[in-house]
Structure 1
Amino acid sequence: MEPFTLQLDGLGLQQMGLEFGAGGLIGGVIGFAAKKVAKIIAILVGMELALFKFLETRGILEVNWQAIGGAAQDATATGTQTAAGQPPGWVTSLLSALPVSAGFTGGFLVGFKKG
């Protein structure tokens, strides 16, 4: 007698579990590293801005602070305009790799919190 196996679109439950677990492990490692890198970048940017302010007070440098603020806003803007009724391309890609994506996301959040 053959054991019962659940098949979802040619993808077995065991395969989905392996993908979820591998995605979680990889996500945890990347999340941990991302937080460490983000801290280093934040320190470097803060030191750079402090240096700019110091050089500006000494009259060595003139800084356009509005331009720096505008560049930061442009960097955080997202473009999600698509044709009417169609999801953005990244949504379609994410849904096609849902088991790995779900594991990766959970692992990333745990790794980022622990980092």
Structure 2
Amino acid sequence: MVEFNLQQLGLEAGGGALIGGIIGFAAKKVAKLVAIIVGLELALFKFLETRGILEVNWTAIGGAAQNATQGGGAAAGQPPSWIVSLLSALPVSAGFATGFFVGFKKG
């Protein structure tokens, strides 16, 4: 018969939630910073273009952005085998995922 130690299970889930929350919070902060940098860069490009200093091919920039989003969607369709093995540690994974989403929302 398999015995479950509820204290150990709680520690694993709680530790995963804590780590996930910290990483989720940091991920949102980094994402905001990257968005600000990209926005400022595009504004600078537009400013320099209106002054005649720079010529920007906006179609190419839009195409690159669309290719990046399509590539990300295709990669998300099939999880790598290491993710499947990682999910076998269910208490830590469940706690981490929950903590990540809470931390990301609070960030």
Output one character per residue of 1:9-60: Cα deviation in whole Å (capped at 9) or x when no partner: xxx4433221111110001111111111111111111000000011111111
The structure that is helix-richer by fraction is: 2
What is aligned with 2:3?
6
Q: 1:90 to 1:72 in 2, by over 3 A?
A: farther
Q: Decide which structure has the larger Cα Rg and report it.
A: 1
2:64 maps to amino acid: A
Q: Per the alignment, in what secondary structure is the counterpart of residue 87 of structure 2?
A: helix
1:68 maps to amino acid: I
What is aligned with 1:45?
38
What is aligned with 2:27?
34
- Asked whether the 8 Å contact 1:27–1:103 carries over to 2, the reply is yes
CA displacement at 1:109 relative to structure 2: 1.0
What is aligned with 2:75?
79
Q: Per the alignment, in what secondary structure is the counterpart of residue 46 of structure 2?
A: helix
Q: CA RMSD in A?
A: 2.3
2:48 maps to amino acid: L
User: How many aligned residue pairs are there?
Assistant: 103
What is aligned with 2:94?
102
Q: Per the alignment, in what secondary structure is the counterpart of residue 31 of structure 1?
A: helix
Distance 2:7 2:33 in 1: 39
Normalised TM-score (structure 1) = 0.74
Q: 1:74 to 1:93 in 2, by over 3 A?
A: farther
Consecutive unaligned residues of structure 1, counting only runs of 5 or more, are none
Normalised TM-score (structure 2) = 0.79
Distance 2:64 2:52 in 1: 24
- Asked whether the 8 Å contact 1:6–1:13 carries over to 2, the reply is no
Q: 1:28 to 1:80 in 2, by over 3 A?
A: closer
What is aligned with 2:56?
63
Distance 2:12 2:24 in 1: 18
